[in-house]
Amino acid sequence: MNKESEKPAAKKGATPVDALLSSLKQGRRYGCILLEGEEEYTKRLAVEALKGTVGQDFPDMNISSLRDPAPDELIAAAETVPFMSERRLVIVKDSTLLSGKVTEFDEEKALEKMEEYLPRIPAETTVVFVLRGKADERRRMVKLLRKHALCVTCARPTDGEAQKWLSQEAKKRGKTLPGPAAAAMVFTVGPSMDTLSGELEKLVSYTEGRNGITEEDIRAVAIPTREARVFDLANSLLAGDGKQAFLLKRRLILDGDQPLMLLNLLAEQCRRVYYTAEMLRDGKSEAEIKETLGIPDFAVRSAAASGRNISSELLRRMCAACTDTEYLAKSGQVNDGAALETMMLRILQLKAITGRKRA
């Protein structure tokens, strides 16, 4: 790896993107960078920061954005002398050398040219390859960039990181987003910062005139993931609300979700409620349950609430009913749609037993 491509020093707890942004603010420059990983939001942040290193004068003259360029086109852009600036930036998107099938030029010759050129990119130029998704380590171009470029992985944040970031972004917009509400939002829409950013903007508009964003606001505005909707379906069943449960099921089916997939997710959620209730009875903390089951804080709290008023025996019987119904569906003895409805009705029947016993 050449001197310009050495990794920037990272503070404890900082992500690779944080370290890159910090080093750019400190004036450090890089000859070649690869941005890869699942989180597109942070890739855009990094690209915008790199554009800032070029300066505000004549950006159109000093920033080239190329889509799947042949090596000669890329090299010509990189070799162009900056105009009224000390820096030049070349952004390469959708390179088939990194992913996909090369059709516009000879791949073998292109790789030979890139292997020769990458170590001698001009000192005033930065070439940044922006790859959608994770890099395929089997590809020769990826191996070349691992050798000659600064490779920055833009990973999807953990639930905790996403919650912290979300609260900070809300604060920038003059809103308070308490920890439980941030956890509920990350669970509802997923940890993608792209999605969270868009949903936050909607919530800011929805709560105009108020300082805080609540869980009720999130339920009213945010678009839930499939997993979150199945989670609501399971909670409706465990609460004995058959009308709401079948309404949610119908919406999921109309949106294209397959009954067998819903059956599996519903069974998984029932087991989470059972395991959570059992661990709580054994004196386990929410943190221990979270680590054991691999689910976020919000899911632990919700599972605990769902199972609080149901006996251990009934929860066990619900899980057994889920297992039996899954087997019938997967073995072809019952069609998927009928199996899903059978499971839902069985859970509602068992929940009704709890109500009768308490009465």
Which tens digit of pLDDT belongs to each residue from 96-105?
999 888 888 8
Q: Which residues pair with 126 in a beta bridge?
A: 89
Contacts of residue 56, Cβ cutoff 8 Å, sequence gap at least 6: none
- Which part of the chain is CATH 3.40.50.300? 3-153
Q: Can you name the CATH fold of 159-221?
A: Helicase, Ruva Protein; domain 3 (1.10.8)
- Which part of the chain is CATH 1.20.272.10? 226-358
Q: Can you name the CATH fold of 3-153?
A: Rossmann fold (3.40.50)
Tens digits of per-residue pLDDT, 15-33? 889 999 999 999 999 999 9
User: What is the rounded CA–CA span in Å between residue 146 and residue 138?
Assistant: 12
Structural contact between residues 273 and 234, judged by C-beta atoms closer than 8 angstroms:
yes
Three-state SS sequence of 44-98: HHHHHHHHHCCCCCCHHHHEEEEECCCHHHHHHHHHCCCCCCCCEEEEEECCCCC
Report pLDDT for 2.
46
Mean pLDDT, residues 236-247: 92
User: What is the rounded CA–CA span in Å between residue 37 and residue 275?
Assistant: 33
Tokens of 110: 């292109």
Is pLDDT of 328 > 80? yes
Report pLDDT for 251.
93
Lowest-confidence range among 268-272, 336-340, 355-359?
355-359
Tens digits of per-residue pLDDT, 59-69? 889 999 999 99
Q: When comparing pLDDT for 179 and 11, which is higher?
A: 179
Confidence band (pLDDT; 50, 70, 90) for 249? very high
Q: When comparing pLDDT for 129 and 4, which is higher?
A: 129
Mean per-residue pLDDT over the chain, rounded: 90
Is pLDDT of 307 > 80? yes
Report pLDDT for 294.
86
Confidence band (pLDDT; 50, 70, 90) for 56? confident
Mean pLDDT, residues 220-230: 90
The proportion of the chain whose per-residue pLDDT surpasses 90, expressed as a percent, equals 70
Report pLDDT for 359.
42
- Across the chain, the runs of DSSP E, i.e. the strands, are 32-36, 63-67, 88-93, 125-130, 150-153
Report pLDDT for 137.
92
Report pLDDT for 298.
85
Mean pLDDT, residues 189-207: 94
User: What is the rounded CA–CA span in Å between residue 143 and residue 121?
Assistant: 17
pTM: 0.77
Report pLDDT for 357.
46
Confidence band (pLDDT; 50, 70, 90) for 352? confident
Count Cβ atoms below 10 Å from residue 295 Cβ, excluding itself: 20
Q: What are phi and psi of 92, to 5 degrees?
A: -110, 120
Tens digits of per-residue pLDDT, 257-295? 999 999 998 999 899 999 999 999 999 998 899 889 888
User: What is the rounded CA–CA span in Å between residue 207 and residue 188?
Assistant: 18
Alpha carbon distances (Å) from 177 to 143, 167, 202, 215 = 43, 5, 14, 9
User: What is the rounded CA–CA span in Å between residue 62 and residue 91?
Assistant: 11
Report pLDDT for 306.
85
Q: Dihedral of the CA atoms 22, 26, 28, 34 (nearest 10)?
A: 20
The proportion of the chain whose per-residue pLDDT surpasses 70, expressed as a percent, equals 95
**Residue 249: closest CA among 237, 239, 238, 240:** 237
User: What is the rounded CA–CA span in Å between residue 68 and residue 94?
Assistant: 5
Contacts of residue 77, Cβ cutoff 8 Å, sequence gap at least 6: 64, 66, 69, 90
Structural contact between residues 289 and 177, judged by C-beta atoms closer than 8 angstroms:
no
Structural contact between residues 78 and 90, judged by C-beta atoms closer than 8 angstroms:
yes
Report pLDDT for 303.
87
Sign of CA dihedral 332, 338, 339, 342: negative
Count Cβ atoms below 10 Å from residue 14 Cβ, excluding itself: 14
Q: When comparing pLDDT for 183 and 15, which is higher?
A: 183
Is pLDDT of 209 > 80? yes
Q: Can you name the CATH fold of 226-358?
A: Zinc Finger, Delta Prime; domain 3 (1.20.272)
Mean pLDDT, residues 179-184: 92
Quick one: how far is CA 253 from the chain centroid?
Answer: 24
User: What is the rounded CA–CA span in Å between residue 193 and residue 190?
Assistant: 9
Report pLDDT for 12.
60
Report pLDDT for 158.
87
